[in-house]
Structures are given as structure tokens and as C-alpha cells.
Chains A and B, each alone.
Chain A
Amino acid sequence: MEALLDIRELQTHFQTEAGVLRAVDGVSLRVREGETVCIVGESGCGKSMTAMSVLGLVEGPSGKVAGGEVRFGGRDLLRMSRQELRTLRGHELSMIFQEPMSSLNPVLTIGRQIAEPLREHLRLGRKEAMRRAVELIREVGISRPEQIADAYPHELSGGMLQRVMIAIAVSCKPKLLIADEPTTALDVTIQAQILDLLRGLQAKSGMALLLITHDLGVVAEMADYVIVMYAGKVVEEGEVERLFREPRHPYTQGLLRSKPVLGQVREELYSIPGQVPNPLELGAGCAFADRCEFAMDRCRRQEPPLAPVGSDQQAACWLHGKEG
């Protein structure tokens, strides 16, 4: 079956004074219909830029998608006209952001903002759109939807605003929802509710979910398939249980070790030594080599390709170069 979203060798570059910054450097990934794929990685590893590139939001004088292919439902998003892309966004392809507070217009009512994409894409009338908006508010689990529809964003809490954002994003029944750290700005109890909500909506509508997060807990709870990114590249990917049980790349191993485990007492939580390298100063070798405890000479000379390790799992590491 063809994937709903098929990204191949995506390159997103930024022109800086110091040189070309490869924010996304040859990322390939696929999301099938109804599937949940998680992209994990530290800050600055290119997760969000991948999502922005898919939606055609990388623009301006310095940044551009320099290469690759992004196919959505068989069509290449990167070669679409602005018009075509616009009719796709918010309709078949939708996105929610990290900060619900700043993603809503402070001077428009909640109901009005939910109604906007309905009027734009489904061509509903004002009244009909407002009626749908109230239904959507109810569907995302907010009580008293009629009142909330008349409220302004500053009157709602962060968790409710994120529910509203979700309502807006799913209003036109998208086939794919991209969620960029949807729970990062929320407190822990609300996080779980938001994830539950996303899962519930997914079960009902069968939409696919591309979830971007740095929280492995979120990954474990949501993902079917995981993609681990480091310095603009995919370093490991695999089916979720397999990847959690048998992480192959030292970076994935480090990520998993730096997560606290309930009931297990440890002196100090593990953290991966060092910092994410400056993407402008990457050498020829593996970007993780300087922080890797298994680093060999070869790692510094030559970059390891992403290669299958066992079934349903791939890693870009020389440790596994000869296997599989």
C-alpha cells in the first residue's frame, strides 16, 4: 500500500553568514493511513523543520527546501502551486503547534476561529459553521460548548486552548495531522488528557498522526513507528516496541537511559555527555561521534548510512554496519 505521506531525502537549508546550515539533511520517512509516527530528538535536531518543510512553511530570504520529495496522497507537495497547497492545508493536511496561547488570535472568539477553516474549505455558511464549531468544541471534550464558542482565548486555560487548537485542526477531517510538541507547554496531568483526546479522535476518524516530540513517554504511549533524529538526519527508526526493547544506535540508547523509570532508584539520572553539535561545524564523520562512548576511528572519518538491522528497524551506525 502506498504511504499517505512519503518524504524522500528531504533537504532543508538555511543560508547563514557562516555558511549553509543543513537543518534537515536527507530525511526520509513514511506515514501510512491511520498510523501514528513519532519523530523524536533533542532540541535543534530538525524535527520541527521537517514538519514545516512538509507544509511548505519554510520561506523567506534565508531558508528553503533544497531537495527531496514530499508526496502526500500521491501528489508532490514541494512542486505544488501556492493555491493548491493552500487548499490542502487545514483541509486534508493539518497541524497543531506547541504554544496554544499564542496560536490563537487574541481578539476573535473561539467559535469564530474554529469556524474559519470550515467556511474556507467546506464552504459552510456563517451559521452552519458556528453550529459545527460548537459541536467540535464538544467533541474535544470541553463542557458548555456554547459559552466557550463566545469566549476569547485569554479566558481559557492552556489545556482548553490546546483542545480548541485540536478542534480547529481536525475541523475539516484531515487525513494527516501533524502535531509539533502538542503537550510540551502543558502540565503533566493535562498532557495525558490531550494525548487521550488525540488518540480518541484518531480512532474515530482514522486520520494519520505525525507526532513530533522530545518526550519518550509520549512516544511509548502514542507511536506505532518511531523515527529518531539527530543533527538533521535520521539515525534510527523502527517499530515502537522493537526500538524501545532493542535500541541499536548509541544515541537512542542514551535517550532511553536518560529517562527516569518508575520504581527504580538511581543515584543520578543518566545524561548524554556533551551538546548537540553546531550544524555548521559538522565534519565528514558521524555527527554523534564526539558524544558516543563507542566511537571508533571510522566514525570520525566516514558517515554511517541508515541500514536495516533486523526486521522493521534501521540504524545509522558503524557498530551494526556489517550485520543484517
Chain B
Amino acid sequence: MSVANGRLAVQPGAGRSKRSSIWGDAARRLIRNKLAVSGFLVVALMFAACFLGPLFSPYADNKINMAQMNRPPSASHWLGTDALGRDVLTRVLQAGRISLTVGLASMGLSVALGALLGIVAGYYRGIVDQLIMRLADLLLTIPSLPLLFIAGALLSEWKVPPDSRMYIVMIMLAVVGWPGLARMVRGQILSLREREFMQATTVLGLRGRRRLLGHLLPNLVPLLIVIATLNIGGAILSESVLSFFGLGVTPPTPTWGNMIDAANNMIDFEKRPWLWIPPGFSIFATVIAINLFGDALRDVLDPKQRR
């Protein structure tokens, strides 16, 4: 291990301050990566703006103002107003709240689901493994977008109220998101459980739960962090696509996707770019930034990619 890291084994005399843990080491290498740092800053900025920004906006109440319809950017409306006279900047930030929350929550759900099922499948094997992995295969054979479309169409058919659609969309995204993750986790577990240190825990007579949560799971944490980060971007994108087609979160709840959809006609597209450029750019910047950061995280954390 020490040789593989390209570092000599540190003798205990080397002193506490220089002691390197896996995390300290990773953090240091991450900070040296400019793309990762800028990615992280963009994401952090986006979060801060979306969650704090609307508090300072005089237009946060979303009141329809017929006197101010479709105005171009000006001093009072920095990004102009939409067809109902609402401030675009405020709406973009409020939409960001929803989009980011949906992205985060569905990522959290799918990582939890995928990791749990993957660990159970890989550790206990046998019939449990077969059941879980065949279910995952089944979900993976159906392309996720059509699946989401059908689910979205059903939601509209059943007239689900707009405010609860947001939560249902989160769950939908998690359901299509977990199989790939479970596969990866299961693969890791299968190789980890045969490693000598896991055999050593058998010899020590540790019970299954302790081996699983105390010894296997910590080895997966880096992998899970990387997958989770990269998944947020994907989830935001999927949510935007769904909402763009009117099958995800529906107006009046704003999301980046349905804001672009509102400008989805020739006149708005050509004459009123302030309606669709801000939400479009937000999606683009957020997803790119998250992916850059996630990639860098993978470089420092995923042992498989380690040089």
C-alpha cells in the first residue's frame, strides 16, 4: 500500500502535523486543480444566488403585472420581464431553487437506493443478488427518457397537483438512476469482500453487520462521493428536459426547464432572448461546473483511476 502510493512509509516520528490522511491528501490535490476549484465556486455561487437571491428581490411575490409585459432588460428589471410581467432574474433564481433541490434530492435518493441495494447484492450474493440485479437490468434495458416521459404523462393524466409533482419527479429520477449505481457498487463489493482484510474480519469473528457497515462501507465512500456529485448534474439535466416537455414540474412552479419551454415559440426565440438565455445558461453553467468538479473528485478519490 505504501509503495503503491509512491510514498515511503512514514515512521511515527514524522510528526502529527505532516500526517496525511486519505481525505487531507485528496483535498490538497483537489485545491491544486484549477478547473475543480472554479467548478466548485460556480456551483457554490449558483446555490448562494438561488437560495439567498430572491430574498433581496422586490419581485419575489411573482405578481402578474400587465403594464410590464415582455420588457427587455432595464435598470429596474435586470433581465427583463416575461409574458406575464414577472421579473426574469427573480424567476430564474426561484427556478434554480427548485432545479437544484430536485437535483440534490433525487441524487441523494438514488445514491442511497443504489448503494444499499448494491451492497446487499454484492455482500449476500445468491438469490438476493439475482433478484436485485435482474431488476436493475430490467430498468437499464428501458431507456430512461421514454420511461420518464410515460411517467410524466401519467402524472398529467391523473391531474397531480403542481406542488406535489416536484416530489414525484424526484422519486421518478431516483428510480431510473439507481440501477447503474447499484451495479458499480456491487462490483466494488464483490472485489472488496475477497480482499484479505475482509477475510481477516471473518477470522476475528466480527458479525455481518459490523463487517458490512464498519469495514466495507468506508471503502466505498470515495466512490459514492464521486458518483453522487456527477449524478447531481445528470439529475438537473433530466429534470429540465422533463419540465421543458411539460412532463416534469409544471407552472406556476418555475424551473429552468419550464422557463425555456415558456419561450418555445418563434417570436419569443427571435425577439425576446432574455426569456430563454438566462435559464438556459444557468442549466449549462451548473451542469458543466458540477461535472468539472466531479471529474476532479474522481481523479483524486477513485482508486481505480489513480496514477
Contacts and interface: CB of A to CB of B under 8 A. Distances in A.
B210 interface: yes
B19 A151 contact: yes
A153 B1 contact: yes
A89 interface: yes
Interface residues of B, number: 33
B205 A107 contact: no
Nearest to B21: A152
B16 interface: yes
B22 interface: yes
A203 interface: no
A102 B200 CA distance: 9
Interface string A66-89: 000000000000000000011111
B203 A102 contact: no
Contacts of A108: 214-215, 218
B159 to A, nearest CB: 50
A105 B240 CA distance: 42
Interface in A104-131: 104-108, 116-117, 120-121
With most chain A CB atoms within 10 A of its CB, the pick from B196, B203, B210 is B203
Contacts of A168: 204
A90 B9 contact: no
B195 interface: yes
B200 to A, nearest CB: 5
B20 interface: yes
Contacts of A143: 12
A156 interface: yes
Contacts of A155: 2, 9-10, 19-20
Nearest to A156: B9
Contacts of A103: 196-197, 199-200
B204 to A, nearest CB: 4
A9 B156 CA distance: 73
Interface string B183-221: 000000000000111111111111100100011001101
A90 B203 contact: yes
22 contacts: A55-B203, A57-B199, A57-B202, A86-B205, A89-B204, A94-B204, A99-B196, A101-B1, A102-B196, A105-B215, A107-B219, A107-B221, A108-B215, A117-B206, A120-B207, A144-B12, A151-B19, A152-B21, A154-B7, A155-B2, A156-B2, A157-B11
Interface of B: 1-2, 5, 7, 9-13, 16, 19-22, 195-207, 210, 214-215, 218-219, 221
Given A86-B206, A101-B2, A157-B9, 17 more contacts: A89-B202, A91-B205, A94-B203, A104-B200, A105-B218, A105-B219, A107-B219, A116-B206, A120-B207, A142-B12, A144-B13, A151-B19, A152-B21, A155-B2, A156-B10, A157-B11, A168-B204
Interface of A: 55, 57, 85-91, 94-95, 97, 99, 101-108, 116-117, 120-121, 142-144, 147-148, 150-158, 160, 168
